């Protein structure tokens, strides 16, 4: 088994383990900020039992690698927005930074664990990571599959489909041939099984379409990349999607002069479009009050013909009802992922 110190020296080893952020909570509970996604430098230091200065020095030495894995520093309007949307909810629980604030995603914290030498917690995380990797490579497999195969769920679907088609349906055929009294019931049951088999085959085909790479959409990790963005980056990402789908005159407002909206544009057919962007943690929700506030700005201040409320989280039932009644398009996390992956929003057509 590879010694845990190997992660300190090998970036390729670190890159291969960065998806295992669950290891952090297995070693020690990691407390997050109210947005459910980030921690501060002080919180990272507390988790690893080192000084904040040690984390700052590590950040200076490995800034590029950490930034690529979700570390970001907020300043100016981005910091003001984060203080307003996140820290202000718990004003007594978190410091209010004046000029800048460095945030770490869970992935960045795991990256720190693989770089921090003088921390027993970090050493335990590295040992746990390599132990899990060793067990995964040495665990015997009854039915090995090629490395290019799809997910475990996909293989289970294929196995169930095979059993239904090669075993269960033929069994029904034999029973129908020898049964007179219950023949009608058996035929109905066989039809039901065949329908299930058909749906599983369709599901299997759909998984291949969704999981397979395509030139017109990014690969997996769309939402993870958005969760790592700051507010301005998220707005620019949405602006890019609008331009991709034929919108013109796309302007990211930003700052205190946005008059209640984040982006203005014209659709492909020249209709006035306004967009509100909210990059919230997935466990939060857009409320009816937030949607009503946007509705007032969109209709009254901007005289919009198309209004999008785009969020990285769900909407409450009341908010969705208001959106449906007033013609606002609520782009929740699932719809946002599909849009970012290449699907078109009908309202923009």
Mean pLDDT per segment of 10 residues, for the chain of length 349 residues? 67 83 86 83 93 94 92 91 78 70 93 91 86 55 43 50 60 63 68 71 59 44 77 90 92 70 90 92 86 86 89 90 91 88 85
Task: Show the CA angle centred on residue 127, arms to residues 123 and 130, nearest 5°.
Answer: 140
Residues 189 and 249 in one domain: no
Sheet holding 38-40, edge to edge: 38-40, 100-105, 72-75
The count of other CB atoms within 10 Å of the CB of residue 235 is: 22
| Domain boundary pick from 211, 231, 258 | 211
CA distance 104 to 114: 14
Q: Which residues contact 219 (CB under 8 A, 6 or more apart)?
A: 213
Q: How many structural domains are present in the chain?
A: 3
Residue 216 belongs to some domain of the structure: no
Query: Distances in Å between the alpha carbon of 322 and those of 61, 169, 202, 293, 333?
Result: 50, 48, 35, 11, 18
Task: Give the pLDDT confidence score for residue 29 in this predicted structure.
Answer: 84
User: What are residue 233's DSSP bridge partners?
Assistant: none
Task: Identify whether 146 is part of a domain.
Answer: no
**Are residue 227 and residue 326 in the same domain, yes or no?**
yes
User: Looking at the structure, do residues 123 and 87 belong to the same domain, yes or no?
Assistant: yes
Q: Do 14 and 133 belong together in one domain? A: yes
On whether residue 144 sits in a domain, the answer given is no
Q: What is the pLDDT of residue 48?
A: 93
CATH number of the domain where residue 337 is located: 3.40.1350.10
192 shares its domain with 270: no
| Same domain as 338, residue 228 | yes
CB hemisphere CA count around 174 (13 angstroms): 6
Q: For residue 145, tell me if it sits in a domain.
A: no
Q: Which domain holds residue 38?
A: 6-138
Domain assignment present for 55: yes
Is residue 217 a part of any domain in this protein? no
β 38-40/328-331 pair status: unpaired
Residues sharing a CB contact under 8 Å with residue 210, sequence separation 6 or more, in sequence order? none
Judgement on whether residues 164 and 126 belong to the same structural domain of the protein? no
Q: Quick one: tokens of 210?
A: 């969704």
Residues forming beta bridges with residue 251, ordered by sequence position: 264
Task: State the pLDDT at residue 337.
Answer: 86
Closest CA to 311 of 344, 347, 286: 286
* Residue 310, pLDDT score: 95
Examine the domain organization and report whether 206 and 328 are in the same domain: no
Same domain? For 62 and 103 the reply is yes
Q: Which of 300, 229, 225 is nearest to 81 (CA)?
A: 229
Instruction: Report residue 35 as tokens.
Output: 């947005």
Q: How far from 300 is each of 23, 59, 101, 209, 293, CA to CA, in Å?
A: 49, 46, 35, 43, 11
Q: Are 38 and 32 in contact (CB under 8 A)?
A: yes
Locate the DSSP E strands across the chain. 38-40, 72-75, 100-105, 248-252, 263-266, 272-278, 306-311, 328-331
pTM, entire model: 0.43
Domain-located, residue 290: yes
The two tokens of residue 299 are 């209709």
Residue 127: per-residue pLDDT: 86
Q: Are residues 201 and 323 in the same domain?
A: no
Does a structural domain hold residue 79?
A: yes
Domain termination residue (choose one: 187, 211, 235)? 211
pLDDT at 281: 83
Residue 10 to residues 270, 278, 328, Cα–Cα distance (Å): 53, 37, 50
Please report how many Cα atoms fall inside a 13 Å half-sphere around the Cα of residue 268, on the Cβ side: 12
234 and 196 within one domain = no
- The residue out of 170, 192, 211 marking a domain boundary is 211
Identify the residue whose tokens are 């299930």. Answer: 196
Q: Which residues pair with 276 in a beta bridge?
A: 309
- 17 with 134, same domain? yes
Tokens of 250: 């796309």
């Amino acid at each position: 088994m590879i010694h845990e110190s190997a992660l300190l020296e090998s970036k390729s080893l670190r890159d291969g383990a960065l998806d295992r952020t669950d290891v952090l909570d297995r070693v020690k509970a990691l407390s997050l900020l109210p947005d459910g996604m980030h921690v501060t430098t002080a919180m990272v230091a507390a988790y690893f039992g080192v000084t904040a200065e040690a984390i700052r020095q590590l950040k200076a030495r490995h800034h590029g690698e950490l930034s690529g894995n979700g570390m970001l520093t907020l300043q100016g309007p981005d910091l003001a927005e984060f203080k307003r949307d996140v820290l202000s909810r718990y004003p007594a629980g978190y410091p209010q930074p004046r000029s800048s604030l460095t945030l770490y995603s869970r992935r960045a914290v795991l990256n720190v664990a693989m770089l921090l030498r003088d921390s027993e917690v970090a050493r335990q995380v590295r040992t746990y990571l390599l132990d899990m990797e060793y067990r995964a490579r040495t665990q015997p497999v009854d039915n090995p599959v090629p490395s290019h195969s799809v997910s475990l769920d996909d293989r289970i679907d294929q196995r169930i489909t095979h059993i239904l088609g090669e075993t269960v349906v033929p069994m029904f055929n034999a029973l129908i041939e020898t049964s007179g009294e219950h023949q009608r019931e058996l035929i109905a049951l066989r039809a039901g099984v065949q329908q299930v088999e058909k749906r599983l085959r369709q599901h299997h085909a759909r998984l291949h379409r969704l999981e397979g790479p395509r030139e017109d959409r990014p690969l997996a990790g769309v939402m993870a990349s958005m969760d790592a963005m700051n507010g301005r980056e998220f707005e620019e990402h949405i602006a890019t999607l609008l331009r991709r789908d034929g919108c013109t005159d796309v302007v990211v407002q930003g700052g205190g002069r946005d008059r209640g909206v984040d982006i203005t544009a014209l659709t492909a057919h020249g209709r006035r479009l306004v967009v509100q962007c909210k990059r919230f943690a997935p466990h939060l929700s857009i409320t009816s009050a937030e949607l009503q506030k946007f509705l007032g700005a969109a209709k009254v201040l901007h005289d919009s013909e198309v209004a999008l409320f785009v969020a990285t989280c769900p909407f409450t039932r009341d908010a969705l009802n208001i959106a449906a009644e007033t013609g606002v398009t609520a782009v929740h996390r699932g719809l946002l992922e599909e849009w970012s992956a290449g699907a078109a929003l009908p309202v923009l057509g």
